[in-house]
Structure 1
């Protein structure tokens, strides 16, 4: 099912000019379109719409050690709660940690790479409230974290 993720501001990259009242159309694990929500609603009339407060943009690369937690799964979840969609291999050497990351779709990278919301790209998104808290993380088109 196609899903439109909508927010008051949508950023293709975190340093780009945001799209006001924007959206990202996600089909499966890929981004189908990015733009003003009104245009996306017209283009995809039967899509499910998820509305997020604040700003929606690409999921982040968590560059440091994964946060402390009792289990590898919980350490990965802490990354998701911060809008992370990827971690660095240097900080995820433990096989159990890598397995936990893989189960939820967190990428393990050899080095930091730029993140962007781009058509046909993998649907890895993060939504942040005005106070900077991550309210949702989407990886490969799946909602993997949502703050209540």
Structure 2
């Protein structure tokens, strides 16, 4: 199912210029289109629309040891609550932690790569509020964290 994710502002990269009234069309686990909300809404009538407050952008890369928590699952969820969708593989030596990362569909990268939203790229998104808190994390096209 296609979903159009939109927020008042969209950034294609973490430090990219914010674009008002833009959206990202997600199909399965991929970004199908990026553009002005009005244009995408017109091109894809009847598509499910998720409107988020804040700034929509690429999911974040966590380049360090995972947060301390009682279980591997909780360590991964601590990252999802921050908008993280990728981690460095070098920090996943513990098999249980690696399994938790794999189960959550986080990317385990061999090197640091700047996250970006690209047409045809994996649908890893995050929405951050004006206070910087993560409101929503989308991993491979599915909502993995949503702040209540």
TM-score computed with the length of structure 1 as normaliser: 0.97
Q: 1:42 and 2:51 equivalent? A: no
Matched, 1:69 2:69: yes
1:4 is aligned to 2:4: yes
Distance 1:16 1:131 in 2: 18
Give yes or no for the alignment of 1:25 onto 2:25: yes
Residues 79-138 of structure 1, C-alpha deviations (whole Å, 9 max, x = no match): 100000011112111111111011111011111101110101000000000000000000
1:52 match: 52
Question: For residue 124 of structure 1, what is the aligned residue in structure 2?
Answer: 124
| 2:7 counterpart SS class | strand
Query: Structure 2 CA distance, aligned partners of 1:147 and 1:70?
Result: 21
TM-score by length of 2: 0.97
SS in 2 for 1:115: coil
2:110 paired with 1:99: no
Query: SS at 2:21's partner residue?
Result: strand
1:77 Cα deviation after fit: 0.4
State the SS of the aligned residue for 2:49.
strand
Gapped regions of structure 1 (runs ≥ 5): none
Aligned to 2:112: 112
Aligned residues: 148
CA shift, 1:45, in A, is: 0.8
Determine if contact 1:19/1:35 at 8 Å carries over to the other structure.
Answer: no
SS in 2 for 1:144: strand
In 2, the alpha carbon distance for the partners of 1:88 and 1:146 equals: 23
Measured in 2, the distance between the counterparts of 1:143 and 1:76 equals 14
SS of aligned partner of 1:34: strand
